[in-house]
Amino acid sequence: MIRDITIGQYYPADSLLHRLDPRVKLLGTLVFIVSLFIADSWLGYVLAAAFLALMIRLSNVPLKFMLRGLKAVMILLLISVGFNIFLTDGEHVLLEFWIIKITWEGVKQALFMGTRLIFLIMGSSLMTLTTTPNQLTDGLETGLGFLKKIHVPIHEIAMMMSIALRFIPILIEETDKIMKAQMARGADFETGGLIQKAKALVPILVPLFISSFRRATDLAMAMEARCYNGGDRTKMKPLKYETRDYITYVVFAIYLALMILVGRL
Amino acid sequence: MGIIKASKLIYEYIKRDEEGNPEGVNRAVDQVDIDIQPGQFVAILGHNGSGKSTLAKHMNALLLPTEGTIWVGDKDTSLEDNLWDVRRTAGMVFQNPDNQIIGTVVEEDVGFGPENLAVPTQEIWKRVDRSLEAVGMTAYRYHSPNKLSGGQKQRVAIAGIMAMKPRCIVLDEPTAMLDPNGRKEVIRTVRELNRAEGITVILITHYMEEVIEADRVYVMDGGRVVMEGTPKEVFARTEELKGYRLDVPQVTELAWELKKAGLPLTDGILTIDDFVDEILAIHQKSGK
């Protein structure tokens, strides 16, 4: 059961979005998020919705998967909508009793905020759904390569991310094994309150930590033995822009320009 | 001089107490002299704590000698400038298959070594194709290493070393964590590489069966090389091997017991076929 957890919820399919260079998708997502904060009118949101719908259509990812991501943030969404409805002051009062006052401005604000959040989550999950974790780290490494000039260890960070991704399933499997070994000796992880359950996890964490450190030394030695020194390396799969990537950049530029023009009307 | 040569090699671990003060010295490798010729299949045998893994780590400059010298491809490993040359000459495969695979896809892991050597992209692809082919893992190139069996993972690790085109591969107990099938798979692959590609192989192990086809065997105990020779020569000294807490292959043991009981068998029988031949010969003789 514990092995079913997947990290980086990639949806394997063949589509235009899947084939795009990860750098394009990273920058595109950023542009889309910025555009959401520029938008401050009905027209702006219609434009954003239309653009997002087009992207989802091009990605071949079923809408069901996109909506699944929303479930996790439902509470956050409700809280922020709630705050906006009840706490925004305005002239057109719709409802007022005791200390609660709902204004037309409040409702509008809440709607905008809600849509903004939903679009934001859908937009970014569209990126993770169409990009493998590997491509993502590659994209980050190449895309943020300019930061090397100011001594940000971009390559090292990307290497750490990809090693973490490789070891997550192994550590999950190991946790499973340790839990079973302790259950066989009478440990109880099921009953009791929250505190009780948290306490029961401590004997799992200790062996897990020890074995992770052991793995880390082993891996470091194996990497050194394979001549890794973080310095001059070549790439087996270097990222290369294709025509479709340039076209996508232009599309995003047009979208951002449109949003700046009409988003606040 | 051979591809790997050690002269009076000594390595000492310093034992420390909880505050980190030195408490005592543990000599893991003691006055070892070895000379390995290019193209050979060499096995280093030893019980736990015999110093065989410590010796192996010297061949890749992961450990540097406390005293004495070890040369890998004519380079002295203790010199900083030789470090990358040494690691290029002698590739190393470790015991735990999970802890030495870096890539999240098989082919990317094989490409990791050549990437580090700054090999041009096209050449990397060629090397990855060839190495996967050589270990018979081409069909799995797009798989995640997590889904492979232990033997397959070790073959990927071997391919990863092959792609760096070393002249020599050191395998540090590559089969210790595998099931019998995985063990056979890995040993077959290694032997094939030795034969077909002419790569020098140094196999560190405590399984006797894996040693039978080696060109040369070194037996270690307490940090010293205590026996040396061809498998036949070494296994002929069954009693001595038992003294070093090592078992001989079952057939060899049976032949040795029969010989003690009075049958005129030769020393150091290694395979069942040889054994059967000798028994039949004796039978025919006594039949007449």
Q: What is the pLDDT of residue A212?
A: 92
Chain B residue with minimum CA distance to A223: B100
Asked if B113 and A227 come within 8 Å (Cβ–Cβ), the reply is yes
Which stretch of A38-52, A59-73, B161-175 has the lowest confidence by average pLDDT?
A: A59-73
DSSP state string for A174-204:
HHHHHHHHHHHTT---SSS-HHHHHHHHHHH
User: How near does any CA of chain B get to the CA of A168, in Å?
Assistant: 10
Cβ neighbors of B259 (< 8 A, separation 6 or more) are B265, B267
User: How near does any CA of chain A get to the CA of B40, in Å?
Assistant: 21
User: How near does any CA of chain B get to the CA of A165, in Å?
Assistant: 8
Question: Distances in Å between the alpha carbon of B271 and those of A51, B186, B217, B235, B274?
Answer: 73, 20, 16, 11, 5
Asked if A234 and B118 come within 8 Å (Cβ–Cβ), the reply is yes
Residue A1 has pLDDT above 70, yes or no: no
Ordered domains of chain B (ranges, CATH)? 4-232 (3.40.50.300), 249-288 (no CATH)
Residue A87 has pLDDT above 50, yes or no: yes
Torsion angles phi and psi, residue B229, rounded to 5: 155, -170
Question: Distances in Å between the alpha carbon of B211 and those of B78, B217, B271?
Answer: 30, 7, 12
Using an 8 Å Cβ cutoff, are A221 and B94 in contact? yes
Best residue in A168, A236, A237 for a mutation probing chain B (most B CBs within 10 Å):
A236
Distance, CA of B150 to CA of B145 (rounded, Å): 10
Distance, CA of A117 to CA of A123 (rounded, Å): 10
User: Which amino acid makes up residue B110?
Assistant: V
Q: What is the pLDDT of residue A235?
A: 85
Best residue in A10, A217, A226, A228 for a mutation probing chain B (most B CBs within 10 Å):
A226
Distance, CA of A91 to CA of A108 (rounded, Å): 13
Asked if B94 and A228 come within 8 Å (Cβ–Cβ), the reply is no
Convert A37-93 into a string of H (helix), E (strand) and C (coil).
Answer: HHCCCHHHHHHHHHHHHHHHHHHCCCHHHHHHHHHHCHHHHHHHHHHHHHHCCCCCE
- For residues A191 and A243, the model is more confident at A243
- For every one of its 288 residues, what pLDDT tens digit does chain B have, with 9 covering 90 and above? 688 999 999 998 888 877 878 778 888 888 899 999 999 999 999 888 888 999 999 998 999 999 999 999 888 988 888 888 899 999 999 999 889 998 888 998 999 999 999 999 999 999 999 999 989 999 998 888 888 899 999 999 999 999 999 999 999 999 888 888 888 889 999 998 899 888 999 999 888 888 888 999 999 998 899 999 998 888 888 888 888 888 788 888 888 888 888 888 887 778 888 888 888 888 888 775
Distance, CA of A205 to CA of A228 (rounded, Å): 30
Q: What is the pLDDT of residue A2?
A: 43
Asked if A234 and B92 come within 8 Å (Cβ–Cβ), the reply is no
Best residue in B104, B108, B126 for a mutation probing chain A (most A CBs within 10 Å):
B104
Q: What is the pLDDT of residue B288?
A: 59
User: How near does any CA of chain B get to the CA of A164, in Å?
Assistant: 10
Chain A residue with minimum CA distance to B108: A236
Closest of A8, A57, A61, A54 to residue A32, by C-alpha: A54
Distance, CA of A193 to CA of B4 (rounded, Å): 62
User: Which amino acid makes up residue B280?
Assistant: L
Residue A7 has pLDDT above 70, yes or no: no
User: How near does any CA of chain A get to the CA of B107, in Å?
Assistant: 9
pLDDT band, residue A135 (cuts 50/70/90): confident
Listed by start position, the domains of chain A span 2-131+241-262, 148-225
pLDDT band, residue A4 (cuts 50/70/90): very low
- Looking at chain A, how many residues does it have? 265
Distance, CA of A133 to CA of A167 (rounded, Å): 13
- Provide the ipTM: 0.84
**What is the overall mean pLDDT for chain A?**
84
Q: Which of A163, A170, A227 sits opposite B102 (nearest CB)?
A: A163
Q: What is the pLDDT of residue B274?
A: 84
Residue A167 has pLDDT above 90, yes or no: no
Summarize pLDDT for A216-228 with one digit per residue, the tens: 999 999 998 998 8
Chain B residue with minimum CA distance to A228: B116
Q: Tell me the average pLDDT across A49-77.
A: 84
Q: What is the pLDDT of residue B170?
A: 94
SS3 (DSSP) at B229: strand
Percentage of chain A modeled with pLDDT above 90: 20
pLDDT band, residue A9 (cuts 50/70/90): low
What are the chain B neighbours of A222 within 8 Å (beta carbons)?
92, 94, 99-100, 102
